[in-house]
Amino acid sequence: MFIRKSAAVRSSEITPQEVFLERRRLIMAAAAVGISAAIPKGGAVAAALQAVESRYSTDEAPTALKHITNYNNYYEFGVGKEDPAANAHTLTTKPWTLAVDGLAARPTDFHVEDLLSSVALEERIYRLRCVEGWSMVIPWVGFPLSEVLGRVEPLGSARYVAFETVLRPDEMPGQRAFLPALEWPYVEGLRLDEAMHPLTILAVGLYGETLPNQNGAPIRLVVPWKYGFKSIKSIVKITLTEEQPVTSWNRQNPREYGFYSNVNPEVDHPRWSQATEMPIGKGLFAKRKPTLLFNGYADEVAGLYAGMDLRKFF
Ligand SMILES: Nc1nc2c(c(=O)[nH]1)N[C@H]1C(S)=C(S)[C@@H](COP(=O)(O)O)O[C@H]1N2
Ligand SMILES: [Mo]
């Protein structure tokens, strides 16, 4: 093959972001001349996370790694944007068991390491839109949530999926706060059809590397057409239910946060307009961009909400 390999650069000198961008440049160059061959990853990429880029990726340029890992919402580690990067190292992420139970024929405790070796990991570049008004473009490594749900065999009575973050006050300062920001553990939920949708993934990596703790290691949900808070981090339990599950932000403030939380420029949050968003990492004078319905994924997901009043079911 006539494509220069990124391994020509000494791996000790390059960052995961540089490896990623070089590989992406090569993929684009190969696509432009009609080559479909897989491009090898640079040496800095963990073998366990060898992944091919998904057809579901956006073609937007990813946000820089330093912003994705230093501007976070993870209230278990503090409410400031830089708190998770400073504090999340105290979470032990190995070994990690993910229990998938509830209305299922084969409830299973998955060991995350085993899971990673038994699923096809993909790189998926997805937009993340936070209800606070900012957005990023993030190259996740993950696999469809439907893969684990399928393995436990949901019963016909299952209509929703509930998610739970680890409860570990010893390792999570926000969970021992005198005035906790939220009721712990953090919980989330999806309707079963939303959970089974191919865009819904469990992410285990970022920029081709193992997921940093502040981004929800070792395994977190990513639902790209919903506001960021639906994408629950450091998950220990997934439960198939008949009733609509309780969700952390809806419990905290039902007037401001609904169960669905679909990105929608026409349905404002009481405190923030949702019509535009500020891309993170584009400098102080960056212009706000118009927000797209379902965060730009309308072609894929609008059908899930056919006939629903999205102002009522916000
Ligand atoms: N357990 C837990 N999960 C969470 C949060 C949190 O505070 N705790 N914050 C949510 C919010 S509001 C957002 S915007 C995303 C941010 O993900 P990121 O830090 O990887 O960008 O995580 C979501 N998942
Ligand atoms: Mo968010």
Residue 250 annotated as lining a ligand binding site: no
Tens digits of residue pLDDT in 87-142: 999 999 999 999 999 999 999 999 999 999 899 999 999 999 999 999 999 999 99
CB-based contacts of 264, cutoff 8 Å, min separation 6 = 274, 293, 294, 310, 314
Mutate to test the pocket of ligand 1, among 229, 236, 250 (most ligand atoms within 8 A of CB): 229
**CB of 212 closer than 6 A to ligand 1?**
no
**CB of 228 closer than 6 A to ligand 1?**
yes
Q: How many CA atoms lie within 13 A of 140 on its CB side?
A: 31
* Cross-strand pairs, 157: none
**CB of 73 closer than 6 A to ligand 1?**
yes
Report CA-CA distances (Å) from 186 to 75, 230, 251: 9, 10, 10
Q: How many CA atoms lie within 13 A of 108 on its CB side?
A: 15
pLDDT at 93: 97
* Token pair listed for 75: 């209230």
Tens digits of residue pLDDT in 17-49: 888 888 777 777 766 666 544 444 443 335 445
* Token pair listed for 125: 């570049």
Q: How many CA atoms lie within 13 A of 121 on its CB side?
A: 27
Its pTM stands at 0.90
pLDDT at 307: 96
Residue 165 annotated as lining a ligand binding site: yes
Task: For each of the domains in the chain, give its residue range(s) and CATH number, in order of start.
Answer: 56-301 (3.90.420.10)
> Range with the lowest mean pLDDT among 1-5, 164-168, 215-219, 227-231?
1-5
Cβ distance 185 to 247 under 8 Å? Answer: no
The alpha carbon of 27 and the centre of ligand 1 are apart by a number of angstroms equal to 30
Q: In whole angstroms, give the CA distance from residue 312 to residue 291.
A: 20
The alpha carbon of 234 and the centre of ligand 1 are apart by a number of angstroms equal to 10
Q: In whole angstroms, give the CA distance from residue 306 to residue 314.
A: 14
Which ligand 1 atom is at minimum distance from the Cα of 233? Answer: 3
